[in-house]
Chain A
Amino acid sequence: MAKGWFNKILPSFVRRDSSNEKKSPVPQGLWQSCPNCKEIIYGPDLEFNLFVCPNCDHHIRIGARHRLSYLFDEDSYEEISSKLEAKDWLSFKDSKKYKDRLSEAQSNIDEKEAMISAFGKINGKEVVVSAFEFRFMGGSMGSVVGQKFIDAANKAIEMKCPFICFSTSGGARMQESLFSLFQMARTSAVLNTLKENKLPYISVLTDPIFGGVAASLAMLGDINIAEPKAQVGFAGPRVIEDTVRVKLPEGFQRSEFLLNHGMIDMIVHRSELKDKLSGLISKLHK
């Protein structure tokens, strides 16, 4: 298969040259090795397969813009609150200043914060979508992530349309401490308003989600969907292991574990997500 042929059918976001390598949310290069089975895969094949390994079906982590592009019709959407930037409420400093960590993250991946919210259509139906960007400080939730989630929910209320959130996050952002913690309250509260307006909220759990994001907006979907083998939990596995001093069981905190314990409605393959989401929405929302 010639690369030129692939380039023609690929959406623009995956057509990156090597100078963009550090900005890429996914492995770059003509030949890729699957992080799970180590199989060497032809790059364009992997991209064509939505970054799911054709050999072992491993769902490779992808960035927020990939999510939106895969979801919205014709890769077209209008961003919500795209200009918001984090505030250093506490003048937080560890070995580095929070401010410097922020600008570093911004220039590394060319995004302003760890979430993108957008309005557009999926299979012809209007929706608002928020997607976490894990490469931005581990997808951690500070006040801007909270704000973008709230602005998205309010946009859904304004447009009378459903709201979908793709989560992937290490949890609340330490550098904003209580401001971050309280985003759990804010995001949970705004979802009540969505419900009062009879608008469905679907939470899509993607690898990985922990802490304050798991214990708020990610678990509050009218429907909770997970990608296969996504790791989702309140406490991180290392913290649990250190506390209970037992080796964690195989598959602990993975999607299949969550399904078996009644925490999610279904596990959906990345290639079927768009149609599944639009199908569910059409039943919950006229």
Chain B
Amino acid sequence: MAYTYLEFEKPISDLENKIEKLRGSGDIGKDIESEISKLSSQIEKLTKEVYSNLSIWQKVQVARHPHRPHFSDYIENIFSDFDELHGDRVFGEDKAIIGGLARFKKRPVVLVGQEKGKSTEDKISRNFGMAQPEGYRKTARLMKMAEDFELPLISFIDTPGAYPGIESEERGMSEAIAKNLSLLSNLKTPVIVIITGEGGSGGALAIGIGDHVCMLEHSIYAVASPEACASIVWRDGSKAKDAAEAMKVDASNLQNLGLVDEVIEEPLGGAHRDSRGVSNSISQVIEKKLHNFDEVDISDLLKKRYEKIMSYGSI
């Protein structure tokens, strides 16, 4: 796939193209080398500048960046020995959600998360990360498994939302999501939640209640997608930018509002520029948190989780 730049990344890409050209010119010499190194430091400075001043709407674009790492990348980078487990045992298998057993630094864990897909074919088969009821029921089964075998549950969120379709309704989308909320709020094992890209609505929350809820620096999380909110509240879908700003969808605002526990810093220029780097940062958070939770009695953990849930918008 050709590399895609966001509009505000254009000045960065222009400099990168210049370097490419110099390299491709075949000329070798001190002058060229020093020119390249000058350009490189310019790029770094510019990237820092651009990325430390992203507007909320620009963050929405970064969260949806075509090259942003996906759950499948994180599985590969952070965990080992992954066994994917399929199916909800009721109706079917939903590829919009991946789940399974893996090892985190030798220790077995249960993983669930949405996968938007990479190639066009893959995206279609995964329904762009928009799960149907069977996807959520698969996660419910795996959550229970985590509880039954005393394994930590780690959930990766990246979805525009649950899929709005006729069959979704026939098979009880509302019930599937509601059941997950009920299950997660009382699941007798540590739960770590990481919003890596888009945290869209109930389809995100259905795997999003936990003891430690964190967001990547440029990820977003809201009651509805900016487009949906715009068409509901503004009655104009093109007001998505205004909606994103009004909903304060970005990680740093949500942390300040006390709705997420931690923001994980992304590598310079965003996660899409350094998949390994961001995976390392996530890995460190998981390690630290699992270690913390090992020290806590499960009944205390559940009590704390309940108090945390009850604190959201408490009046």
Contacts and interface: CB of A to CB of B under 8 A. Distances in A.
Interface of A: 84, 87, 89-90, 92-95, 142-144, 146-147, 150, 172-186, 188-193, 211-212, 214-220, 232-236, 239-240, 243-244, 246, 248-249, 252-253, 257, 261-263
Nearest to A147: B315
B121 interface: no
Interface of B: 162-166, 168-175, 177-179, 181-182, 185-186, 201-202, 205-206, 209, 221-224, 228-229, 232-234, 239, 242-243, 246-249, 254, 257, 259, 306, 309-310, 312-315
A219 B312 contact: no
B169 A253 contact: yes
Contacts of B169: 233-235, 240, 252-253
Contact of B310 (A93, A179, A186, A243): A186
B312 A179 contact: yes
Given A248-B166, A261-B172, 19 more contacts: A92-B246, A95-B234, A142-B313, A177-B247, A178-B248, A181-B202, A182-B312, A184-B202, A188-B181, A188-B182, A189-B310, A214-B174, A215-B206, A219-B172, A240-B165, A244-B165, A249-B166, A253-B169, A263-B175
Contacts of B233: 94, 174-175
Q: Which 7 A-B pairs have the closest CB atoms?
A: A143-B313, A235-B164, A189-B185, A182-B312, A188-B181, A179-B313, A177-B247
Contacts of B247: 90, 92, 174, 177-178
Given A94-B242, A219-B178, A252 B205 contact: no
15 contacts: A144-B315, A178-B247, A178-B248, A178-B257, A185-B205, A185-B209, A185-B312, A186-B312, A189-B310, A214-B174, A215-B202, A233-B169, A234-B202, A240-B165, A246-B166
Contacts of A142: 313
B223 A178 contact: yes
A94 B310 CA distance: 28
Contacts of B246: 90, 92-94, 175, 177
Contacts, number: 184
B170 A174 contact: no
A181 B213 CA distance: 14
A143 B173 CA distance: 23
A180 B223 contact: yes
A90 B56 CA distance: 14
Contacts of B172: 219, 261-263
B166 A183 contact: no
A180 B205 CA distance: 11
Contacts of B312: 143, 179, 182-183, 185-186
A51 to B, nearest CB: 26
A181 B206 CA distance: 11
A178 B166 contact: no
A64 B224 CA distance: 27
A240 B182 contact: no
Contacts of A186: 309-310, 312-313
Contacts of B257: 89-90, 178-179
B202 A189 contact: no
A84 B181 contact: no
Given A177-B222, A188-B181, A240-B169, A234 B313 contact: no
A84 B202 CA distance: 25
A138 to B, nearest CB: 10
Given A94-B233, A239-B164, A147 B309 contact: no
A181 B181 CA distance: 11
A181 B166 contact: no
Contact of A188 (B185, B223, B313): B185
Contacts of B166: 240, 244, 246, 248-249, 252
